């Protein structure tokens, strides 16, 4: 029986790989051998627990204040040793993390076919987002099967001379995961959030962590958030604070003492999904949130100057606003004050998936191995 080895190590990867793992495990003709690196430890484990996934192998590479090069080398070394005992017929890597690139390179160097989930995303700026843009481009060079989430991503790959026969448009598995988890209505571990869920006040969800925003830009975001909290005392602003001390030192001093700014620890995926569903506006610099929030009809203001996910910008549910303090205040204020502007974004079509991306993914993998045919491409 062909062995398929999904390899992942961070929370975003785990979320998007979970529907694929479940679909592979349900396929009686494939042996799914889940391997995790532990690039994110606690957050990774939370997602696996939520979806009932028990990894067969755990490299547990995490170290305090680990560097990108450290993650890369420990992952390649760990996988190379694993391949001496378990030689998969294909590995599956997701997206643009250091784990995914290391997994792709380790497999390629052993002659193992690489399946790249969420292939073809491009910001066209090698240093923004960093290191993700470089990671996904490197992975594209060694992949045998490119699973593009959208036709835009497919077209990016075609322009880079990837053969059309090696590309399948699947939709994004984040929508598969989102639709499953949102039905669970996972309770909040923080009682303050349960209180917010019970009231009828408007809520703005704020997340920020990007490396390129750290420093002055992030301090400006903190000041903007403090100004918004003062201008809208009837609105709650929820900030799940990234554990990186550089992030906390930049943004938290500005909002200290603001009664309607609720700072929490990072939320487990199920809780975070519920918080998105409760939100009225999402202000973020995250990549994945740009896909998740539109799936629940939430306007998204993205604190970046470019995005590798332009589909929702074109659709109108996502808007790039950068990190300028005045611009952040102005754009959030517009959505809170102007019902027409709000409705235009909230009612836009989500171009990222229909909840069946995992099915298309497994069918494409089976075709790669000569075991069947693909399903028709996803089209938004």
Sequence-distant (≥ 6) Cβ neighbours of residue 379 within 8 angstroms? 151, 169
Sheet holding 202-207, edge to edge: 261-264, 235-240, 202-207, 281-284, 300-302, 318-320
Could you tell me if 361 and 171 are in contact, meaning their C-beta atoms sit under 8 angstroms apart?
A: no
- Residue 200: CB atoms within 10 A of its CB come to 4
Q: Could you tell me the two tokens for 69?
A: 């090069």
- Residue 310: CB atoms within 10 A of its CB come to 20
Proportion of the chain in helix, strand, coil states, percent, rounded to 5: 45, 15, 40
For 290, counting Cβ atoms within 10 Å of its Cβ (0-12 exposed, 13-18 middle, 19+ buried), the class is buried
User: Catalytic residue numbers?
Assistant: 96, 118, 132, 209, 211, 242
Q: Where do we find the tokens 């990222």? A: 352
Whole-number Å distance between alpha carbons of 79 and 102 = 9
């Amino acid at each position: 029986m062909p062995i398929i080895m999904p390899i992942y190590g961070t929370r975003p990867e785990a979320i998007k790989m979970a529907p694929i793992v479940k679909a592979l495990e349900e396929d009686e003709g494939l042996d799914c051998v889940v391997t995790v690196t532990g690039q994110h430890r606690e957050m990774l484990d939370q997602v696996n627990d939520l979806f009932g996934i028990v990894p067969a192998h755990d490299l547990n590479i995490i170290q305090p204040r680990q560097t990108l090069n450290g993650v890369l080398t420990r992952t390649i070394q760990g996988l190379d040793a694993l391949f001496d005992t378990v030689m998969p017929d294909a590995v599956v890597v997701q997206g643009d993390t250091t784990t995914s690139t290391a997994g792709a390179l380790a497999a390629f160097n052993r002659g193992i076919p690489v399946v790249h989930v969420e292939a073809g995303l491009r910001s066209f700026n090698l240093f923004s987002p960093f290191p993700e843009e470089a990671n996904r481009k490197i992975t594209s060079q060694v992949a045998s099967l490119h699973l593009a989430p959208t036709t835009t991503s497919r077209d990016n790959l075609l322009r880079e001379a990837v053969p059309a026969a090696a590309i399948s448009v699947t939709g994004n598995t984040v929508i598969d995961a989102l639709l499953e988890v949102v039905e669970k209505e996972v309770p909040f571990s923080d009682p303050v959030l349960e209180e917010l869920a019970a009231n009828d006040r408007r809520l703005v969800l704020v997340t920020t962590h990007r490396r390129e925003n750290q420093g002055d830009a992030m301090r400006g975001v903190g000041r903007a958030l403090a100004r918004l909290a003062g201008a809208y005392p009837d609105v709650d602003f929820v900030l799940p604070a990234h554990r990186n001390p550089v992030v906390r030192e930049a943004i938290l001093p500005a909002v200290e003492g603001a009664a309607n700014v609720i700072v929490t620890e990072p939320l487990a995926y199920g809780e975070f999904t519920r918080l998105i569903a409760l939100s009225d506006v999402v202000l973020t610099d995250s990549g994945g949130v740009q896909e998740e929030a539109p799936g629940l009809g939430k306007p998204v203001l993205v604190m970046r100057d470019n995005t590798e996910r332009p589909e929702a910008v074109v659709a109108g549910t996502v808007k790039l606003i950068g990190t300028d303090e005045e611009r952040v205040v102005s754009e959030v204020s517009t959505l809170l004050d102007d019902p027409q502007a709000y409705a235009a974004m909230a009612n836009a079509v989500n171009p990222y998936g229909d909840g069946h991306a995992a099915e298309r993914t497994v069918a494409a993998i089976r075709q790669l191995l000569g075991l069947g045919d693909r399903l028709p491409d996803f089209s938004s």
